[in-house]
Amino acid sequence: MSLLDVSGVSKSFSTGRDFLGRPKRSLPAVHDVSLTLDKGECLAVVGESGAGKSTLGRMVLRLIKPDAGRVTFDGIDVLGVGSAQMRRLRQRMQMIFQDPHSSLNPRMSVAEAVAEPLLVHSDLGRVDRQKRAAELLDRVGIGHRYLARYPAELSGGQLQRVAIARALTLKPSLIVCDEPVAALDVSVRAQVLNLLRDLQEEFGLAYLFVSHDLALVEVIADRVLVMAEGRTVEQGTVQQIFQAPTEEYTQRLLAAIPVPVPRDASGQRMIDVARS
């Protein structure tokens, strides 16, 4: 059984209102998309802007409720559970957003932000919560001198590390990463990507990795789902999608990668993203 099983999910959004306040039109954002994700695996969802990638990621966590389809996490029907069970389930399914500035509370110190989920979801006392937060922050490369600082005092890369530590606090098995390095300076992208990769291995995390950047996807993903206009174009392993894409749309996406990753005669990547 897969850790995550998404079957035929669809979502339409209504746009604008007529003079009676009724929605004018219903536009499909995601249509009949299915995927599976195993423990410790990384599935990238790629496609151009507006393809429906973020909507799909949010539906997996029930942050957006699908109009149709099923989402099963570890055998549990995510769309069918009550709010108390959903709160428990959310501990095991976390999300990292593109913009760490907006995902962290500006009035909470770095240590408080990482410890907060434990206040809500565990019986740990204050000292133990702070200790666990400090350990996690240390693990993601944020030293002790930053613990009492506030988001406005940190760089984008540091903030994303804090957001990653916060996502790890409750020991999730799935993290939906929605363009997690897209808002960062090019110089720190590789470091944060490598951190995500190391943490995945260390904690056996499964990632649903939403990205429009195929060069990153090739480095981090095991499998790829290509989306266009809300629909699945094709799915396959990284090798299949990057070396033998069957659909013209995927071929065009690949051709648009600015700097193709050099390969040796056997098709293996010749460089890796620099280690942090």
Least gap, CB of 50 to ligand ATP (angstroms): 4
Rule CB under 6 A: say whether 176 interacts with ligand ATP.
no
The single residue among 31, 35, 44, 54 that binds ligand ATP, judged by CB under 6 A, is 54
Specify the residue, 47 or 151, whose C-beta has the smaller distance to ligand ATP.
47
- The DSSP letter of residue 108 is S
* Residue 240 · residue 211 · CB < 8 Å: no
Part in contact with ligand ATP (CB under 6 A); list of ranges 49-57, 197-205, 215-223, 257-265: 49-57
Rule CB under 6 A: say whether 51 interacts with ligand ATP.
yes
Part in contact with ligand ATP (CB under 6 A); list of ranges 50-58, 71-79, 184-192, 247-255: 50-58
Part in contact with ligand ATP (CB under 6 A); list of ranges 47-55, 102-110, 133-141, 258-266: 47-55
Size of residue set near ligand ATP by CB under 6 A: 12
Rule CB under 6 A: say whether 13 interacts with ligand ATP.
yes
> CA nearest 59: which of 164, 222, 176?
176
User: What is the C-alpha end-to-end distance of the chain, expressed in Å?
Assistant: 35
Residue type, 211: S
Q: Which of residues 59-98 bind ligand ATP (CB under 6 A)?
A: none
Rule CB under 6 A: say whether 52 interacts with ligand ATP.
yes
Part in contact with ligand ATP (CB under 6 A); list of ranges 53-61, 65-73, 216-224, 233-241: 53-61
Q: Which of residues 211-230 bind ligand ATP (CB under 6 A)?
A: 212
Structure tokens at 150: 């506030």
Least gap, CB of 175 to ligand ATP (angstroms): 17
Rule CB under 6 A: say whether 16 interacts with ligand ATP.
no
**Residues whose CB is less than 8 angstroms from the CB of residue 97 and which lie 6 or more positions away in sequence, other chains included:** 103, 163, 178, 179, 180
Starting at the edge strand found earlier in the chain, the sheet holding 206-211 runs 93-96, 174-178, 206-211, 42-46, 223-228, 231-237
Helix (H, G, I), strand (E, B) or coil at 233: strand
> CA nearest 218: which of 187, 262, 185, 266?
262
